[in-house]
Structure 1
Amino acid sequence: MAGSEQSEAQEELLFIFENGDKYTNPTEVKMSQFILPCHANHRGELSVGQLLKWMDTIACLSAERHANCPCVTASMDDIDFEYTLRVGQVVNIKAKVNRAFTTSLEVGTYFRFVGINIICEDPLSGKQWKVCNAFATFVAKGEGPGKVQLKSIVPRTPEEKIEYSIAVERRRMRLLHLETIKDLVSSSTIQKEPDFEESQHVVPAEKTRVETVELVLPPHANHQRNTFGGQIMAWMESAATISASRFCKEHPVLKTIEMFHFRGPSQVGDRITLKAIVNNAFKKSFEVGVCAEAYHQEGWERKTHINSAFMTFVVLDKDGQLSTFPCVKPEPGDGERRYREASARKKIRLDRKYIISCKQTEVPLSVPWDPSNQVYLSYNNISALKTLAAKQNWVLSCTRKKAKLFTLEEDQLLFFKAEMTVSVNIKQVFLLLSDMSRRHEWDTHYQKFKLIQKVDEDDVIYHVISPSVNKAGNFQDFVLLASRRVPCADGDPYLIALRSVSLPAAPPTEGLDRGEIPCAGFKLCQKGEACTNIAYYIQATPQVLPYLTRDITGLSSDVCKIVEACNEFLEQNKDTVHPLGSVTLGGT
């Protein structure tokens, strides 16, 4: 384990109030468990099912600490397991509530998002390392049929404010995930089925089918007599592992779990039927689908589909290298659908990892855009802007009339922020600044914005042309994804985020120097009935920096002039009826 990993795992970030008191998040819950043989599999490694039980337990405790009432598991987000844990090691789990949301009126419950961080500790050496982290959604359940009125989360530390803000984007991804899968399956961008008749290495999917049943006993239930979500997830993991073993004829290693989504409850006395089957194989990994159905004791003929999940397994040979797998021949009908959906999930998973893992100090910074990753690119676009806006230690560089310019140097990166307040309604400011086709009216750094593709109501891709910094140089162009968000709740800002993407419809053009912007955008905050605070952020790149540092003072006076021009543009158009239409608050 690298030293940086150890120090990262051991680091405890403290927030200290002005009076010197140390801050502790009131919803934070910590758990340490010594891994015993009863928690392990035949290889002496911690059972993933046992880990899921511990994760669900501590997340529920954190949720109930804030709700002051019982909570039940609604879902558990994707989990990537970075390391395996062994008997004799210690698992340290920490959970806290990031944000509370109300659902739509039709549902009538309250959602809670809990961040779970898992660190493994070797008690003999004192070394620590990150195992995984996850986000769980819980529903608060009161004693009566009415709603539970939950108090809001008040983030205090910079880290909490970022998580509080980004929780909205994670919620958006959850809601769009199934739609993304369906769109991708119906498209031609995923792999086509191979000719199974000609392939010599094929395993029929039906040979991997597993069906087992569990009786829900009192030790499996919580204080409401509902089955622990962690227990159901553990049973599902066990069934999936058996199916995986039948396919690979080895002892598989679970690497990734797609989201667990609880569709209904089960109680003591119910029979839980678990069904698992290998959906598809991808040379070095394969996916197992598993579902859980509850047969209720008051009528054994009545069943409820309570959960589904998809788990990706690998097999390591004696040298620790990934083994290669044969093809899977799906069952006709639903098996073929699951086969295609597994390919779609793999593509989305790889796209998401690539988007999130891209380092902003490496080139190219832009990520290829296509329908399979549009949700995650939009999420990354907004999240990057929120993270940049939450950074501390901005240094005021200059003030001119209404404009203030700030700089920030961090990890060999340079950021700029321009801030001003305008006497224009925030919704009108949002609509005017969202229309990138008019940006050239106030920003001389942009000569032309051409709409390439309207992805949806909130995401648009533009081709941008900027004039040369000097007369001898070429003009520059950028391909930018513009993502906008209205507030999810009162007090949240309006956001317009920009980042570079690559698109086949907009290849590099001869005579233009292609530039890249990793992160830029506007954060708008309401300061009154008709008063808006505008903050514009941008991360400097070699292509952007010359526009900002043309003179000997380090920051060009052009930036101040552009901010003033923006203010004038907004004032002149504050009563204009905008073609983008009205703006309303997002769903809660």
Structure 2
Amino acid sequence: MEPYRNPTEVQMSQLVLPCHTNHRGELSVGQLLKWIDTAACLSAERHAGCPCVTASMDDIYFEHTIRTGQVVNIKAKVNRAFNTSMEVGIQVTSEDLCSEKQWSVCKALATFVAQRDSSKVKLKQILPLTEEEKVEYSVAAERRRMRLVYTETIQDLLAKSIIQDDLESRDCSMKVPAEKTRVESVELVLPPHANHQGNTFGGQIMAWMENVATIAASRLCRAHPTLKTIEMFHFRGPSQVGDRLVLKAIVNNAFKNSMEVGVCVEAYRQEMESCRRHLNSAFMTFVVLDGEDQPMTLPWIQPQRGDGERRYREASARKKMRLDRKYIVSCKQAEVPLSVPWDPSNQVYLSYNNVSSLKMLMAKDTWVLTSEINKIKLYTLEDDKFLSFHLEMTVHTDTTQAFLLLSDLRRRPEWDKHYKSVELIQQVDDDDAIYHVISPVLPGADGKPGDFIILASRRKPCDSGPDFSASELCDFGQVTCLDWAPGERDPYVVALRSVTLPTHPETPERTRGETLCSGFCLWREGDQQTKVSYYNQATTSFLNYVTTNVAGLSSEFITTFKACERFLLDNKSELALSLQNL
């Protein structure tokens, strides 16, 4: 029997020839972006059964360069389909045919929009089967949420970031005027650059953008730069054969060992040159490597007054955001410390990590049923680093109401004796809040009560709102729609994790506890019937308490969860006014 293969999976292997490389014999990133876009588009069209266009490409971190004679292996598959758009996951590796060595090059996530005769196409849903597919399917909803608020998040974080004005303190002898790095180029879209519908390939536009960005970076360092990171490409509309594309690039800021280049693309027809439309913008981070592949020190940049200084400071803010995002979102779950500092500038990524960690824990297929008492099931999951447990029951109550009740931690002391009192410290936004939890004395806690600083992130199922604004949908030939396909396998989620706040430090009177990943997932099983699941990844401080329950030496888990059931039933008709604004 052949091994299982995802029906949307596309594999592409390309031999790197001299025509694909730069002066150093390394594969051009622009060429790689073309191949990535092509493979992802083929996967999207395999699922959609109709033409698809690139809508966006998430941040890409390049881990390894590829040289002449090596093979590029690209694997793409649809992680999840929404209504007319879908997320495609891409993995890129390189292979040396002589030594049989392989390297990871990068991972990418692209969003494609399905089109047929310039009208929307409703996509069939993905049915995830393997653990990996279930994880990607579940987390795709949270990634989509981040894309929806991408522009607002950037603006909000930039507004809140305090960037030190160090322009006057820098060594003037090493400053390069930003205007010296400015590049402007024009490209004519010809049939080889477009698909069978006449729309320009997204990968081709990205390749042109990488080209002008590399020239701008070279003008600063007077050397050959290496591209390390690309921020999200977001296509605001298509371009067609016959369009002229104007590409502009400039170095926004230079740090000690890296520089940010901003690139934008505008399109116009020959007969309407004055009517340019904005197609795309991106920010690319370059370094210059020495003979030992170590980053070299770069000259400073001297921005122009006005817009130049704005771009300069925004680049500093984006650098901080990239570091936050790379650390919180990109690193493995086990590498994230239990309590991470809460910072308004990285709140969107902490929230994302909070929810996605719980969804990844939920999607694992190695849960083992340990016991079933009073219609409550106890599952356990053991791996190299953690012991996790999962409680499950069905409650005769409305799912939305249960979600409202469980997402307000201030009500948890009503049913959970481990929560003595709960104070709302900060209502971050409609979906995220930070609480200070006081717990009673636990065994082995030196006779002191405990406390926690908890970030609670709640999510409804991914069932409303398009992936793009109305104007962007019109640009792509779509129609604004309100019948967005519901995520039938999506639960209501209440995710909990520890954070640290300078206003609430540890005190000698209490033992500070931590939780890495815990929370509730709720599924609507029918009218007035809800499946409630609670997950917890046990930390060292509670390991003895957890193992005692898992081993059957204590029934506190079952007793507490039964109390939760009674709480939901007793309040099934109550609608807390403070929680109705979801």
Pairwise TM-score range, normalised by the shorter structure:
over 0.9
Greater mean deviation of Cα atoms: 41-50 or 543-552: 543-552
Judged with a 3 Å threshold, the aligned counterparts in structure 2 of structure 1 residues 359 and 46 are, in CA distance, closer, same or farther, namely closer
Greater mean deviation of Cα atoms: 292-301 or 46-55: 292-301
SS of 2:577's equivalent in the other structure is coil
- 1:533 — aligned with what? 531
- How far does residue 296 in structure 1 lie from its aligned partner after superposition? 1.1
SS of 2:401's equivalent in the other structure is helix
Structure 2 unmatched runs, 5+: 463-485
- The one of 185, 188, 191 equivalent to 1:212 is 185
- 1:82 — aligned with what? 63
Judged with a 3 Å threshold, the aligned counterparts in structure 2 of structure 1 residues 142 and 583 are, in CA distance, closer, same or farther, namely farther
Q: What is the CA–CA distance in structure 1 between the aligned matches of 2:578 and 2:409, rounded to whole Å?
A: 11
Pairing of 1:54-69 with structure 2 (within 5 A): 54-69=35-50
SS of 2:311's equivalent in the other structure is helix
Structure 2 counterpart of 1:40, one-letter code: T
Confirm whether residue 572 of structure 1 aligns to residue 557 of structure 2: no
SS of 1:372's equivalent in the other structure is helix
Q: What is the CA–CA distance in structure 2 between the aligned matches of 1:388 and 1:161, rounded to whole Å?
A: 11
- The one of 195, 211, 214 equivalent to 2:168 is 195
- The one of 2, 8, 13 equivalent to 1:32 is 13
SS of 1:543's equivalent in the other structure is helix
- 1:379 — aligned with what? 352
Judged with a 3 Å threshold, the aligned counterparts in structure 2 of structure 1 residues 363 and 408 are, in CA distance, closer, same or farther, namely same
- How far does residue 412 in structure 1 lie from its aligned partner after superposition? 2.9
Q: Contact conserved, 2:392 with 2:532, CA < 8 A, in 1?
A: yes
Q: What is the CA–CA distance in structure 2 between the aligned matches of 1:212 and 1:30, rounded to whole Å?
A: 34
SS of 2:272's equivalent in the other structure is coil
- The one of 126, 129, 149 equivalent to 2:103 is 129
Q: Contact conserved, 2:170 with 2:300, CA < 8 A, in 1?
A: no
Q: What is the CA–CA distance in structure 1 between the aligned matches of 2:576 and 2:59, rounded to whole Å?
A: 40
Q: Contact conserved, 1:494 with 1:524, CA < 8 A, in 2?
A: yes
- The one of 531, 536, 559 equivalent to 2:557 is 559
- How far does residue 212 in structure 1 lie from its aligned partner after superposition? 1.2
Q: What is the CA–CA distance in structure 2 between the aligned matches of 1:428 and 1:219, rounded to whole Å?
A: 55
Cα-to-partner distance string for 1:46-89 (whole Å, 9 max, x where unaligned) = 00000000011111111111111111111111000000000000
Judged with a 3 Å threshold, the aligned counterparts in structure 2 of structure 1 residues 298 and 65 are, in CA distance, closer, same or farther, namely farther
- The one of 388, 391, 396 equivalent to 2:361 is 388
- 1:405 — aligned with what? 378
Q: Contact conserved, 1:74 with 1:139, CA < 8 A, in 2?
A: yes
Structure 2 counterpart of 1:59, one-letter code: A
Greater mean deviation of Cα atoms: 281-290 or 539-548: 539-548
Confirm whether residue 222 of structure 1 aligns to residue 195 of structure 2: yes
Confirm whether residue 72 of structure 1 aligns to residue 72 of structure 2: no
Judged with a 3 Å threshold, the aligned counterparts in structure 2 of structure 1 residues 30 and 203 are, in CA distance, closer, same or farther, namely same
Structure 1 counterpart of 2:527, one-letter code: E
- 2:234 — aligned with what? 261
Pairing of 1:294-373 with structure 2 (within 5 A): 294-356=267-329, 364-373=337-346
Q: What is the CA–CA distance in structure 2 between the aligned matches of 1:203 and 1:265, rounded to whole Å?
A: 36
- 2:475 — aligned with what? none
Greater mean deviation of Cα atoms: 410-419 or 181-190: 181-190
- The one of 406, 413, 427 equivalent to 1:454 is 427
Q: What is the CA–CA distance in structure 1 between the aligned matches of 2:271 and 2:553, rounded to whole Å?
A: 74
Confirm whether residue 139 of structure 1 aligns to residue 113 of structure 2: yes
- The one of 411, 435, 439 equivalent to 2:408 is 435
Structure 2 counterpart of 1:43, one-letter code: R
SS of 1:279's equivalent in the other structure is strand
Judged with a 3 Å threshold, the aligned counterparts in structure 2 of structure 1 residues 490 and 263 are, in CA distance, closer, same or farther, namely closer
- 2:543 — aligned with what? 545
- How far does residue 516 in structure 1 lie from its aligned partner after superposition? 1.2
- 1:177 — aligned with what? 150
- How far does residue 556 in structure 1 lie from its aligned partner after superposition? 2.7
Q: What is the CA–CA distance in structure 2 between the aligned matches of 1:27 and 1:359, rounded to whole Å?
A: 26
Q: What is the CA–CA distance in structure 2 between the aligned matches of 1:128 and 1:117, rounded to whole Å?
A: 13
Structure 2 counterpart of 1:500, one-letter code: S
- 2:441 — aligned with what? 468
Structure 1 counterpart of 2:516, one-letter code: P
- The one of 33, 44, 48 equivalent to 2:29 is 48
SS of 2:252's equivalent in the other structure is strand
Greater mean deviation of Cα atoms: 465-474 or 131-140: 465-474
Structure 2 counterpart of 1:56, one-letter code: D
Q: Contact conserved, 2:160 with 2:345, CA < 8 A, in 1?
A: no
Q: Where do 4+ consecutive residues of structure 1 move more than 6 Å?
A: none
SS of 1:318's equivalent in the other structure is coil
Structure 1 counterpart of 2:70, one-letter code: Q
SS of 2:344's equivalent in the other structure is coil
Judged with a 3 Å threshold, the aligned counterparts in structure 2 of structure 1 residues 357 and 59 are, in CA distance, closer, same or farther, namely closer
Structure 1 unmatched runs, 5+: 1-19, 103-109
- How far does residue 302 in structure 1 lie from its aligned partner after superposition? 2.0
Q: How many residues align?
A: 557
Q: Contact conserved, 1:266 with 1:296, CA < 8 A, in 2?
A: no
Q: What is the CA–CA distance in structure 1 between the aligned matches of 2:77 and 2:438, rounded to whole Å?
A: 45
Q: What is the CA–CA distance in structure 1 between the aligned matches of 2:371 and 2:381, rounded to whole Å?
A: 13
Q: What is the CA–CA distance in structure 2 between the aligned matches of 1:363 and 1:309, rounded to whole Å?
A: 28
- How far does residue 273 in structure 1 lie from its aligned partner after superposition? 1.1
Q: What is the CA–CA distance in structure 2 between the aligned matches of 1:537 and 1:451, rounded to whole Å?
A: 22
SS of 1:373's equivalent in the other structure is helix
RMSD value over aligned CA atoms? 1.8
- How far does residue 550 in structure 1 lie from its aligned partner after superposition? 4.6
- 1:500 — aligned with what? 498
Confirm whether residue 512 of structure 1 aligns to residue 486 of structure 2: no
Q: What is the CA–CA distance in structure 1 between the aligned matches of 2:57 and 2:331, rounded to whole Å?
A: 25
SS of 1:280's equivalent in the other structure is strand
- 1:483 — aligned with what? 457
Judged with a 3 Å threshold, the aligned counterparts in structure 2 of structure 1 residues 555 and 67 are, in CA distance, closer, same or farther, namely farther
Structure 1 counterpart of 2:247, one-letter code: L
- 2:482 — aligned with what? none
- How far does residue 165 in structure 1 lie from its aligned partner after superposition? 1.1
Q: Contact conserved, 2:246 with 2:266, CA < 8 A, in 1?
A: yes
Q: What is the CA–CA distance in structure 2 between the aligned matches of 1:229 and 1:357, rounded to whole Å?
A: 24
- How far does residue 580 in structure 1 lie from its aligned partner after superposition? 3.7
Structure 2 counterpart of 1:461, one-letter code: I
Q: What is the CA–CA distance in structure 1 between the aligned matches of 2:119 and 2:218, rounded to whole Å?
A: 46
Q: Contact conserved, 1:60 with 1:72, CA < 8 A, in 2?
A: yes
Q: Contact conserved, 1:98 with 1:163, CA < 8 A, in 2?
A: yes
